[in-house]
Amino acid sequence: MRWWKMLGLAGIMGVAATGVVIARAERRRRAYTPDEIRARLRERAVEGVPSSGGAAGAQRPERGKTAASGDRDRLTE
């Protein structure tokens, strides 16, 4: 192989290794203990806030009405 091919391959491997190091550090930073997870779930349950992406707890607007039209109706009453 020519020297420029080896240099390019080394560069690609360096970028991949850097990505792995960054991903590991991010995973460690975002890691929660089981007690922290329980506390957060209990807080959400007390507040009554659905979890993120909670389509199960979302209410659907009446047919033909959007959320914006419902707000407009309440404001004019």
Average pLDDT over residues 19-29: 88
More confident residue, 36 or 57: 36
HEC letters along the chain: CCHHHHHHHHHHHHHHHHHHHHHHHHHHHHCCCHHHHHHHHHHHHHHCCCCCCCCCCCCCCCCCCCHHHHHHHHHHC
18: pLDDT confidence band, cut at 50, 70 and 90? very high
Give the model confidence (pLDDT) of 55-65 as tens digits: 555 555 566 55
pTM of the full structure:
0.38
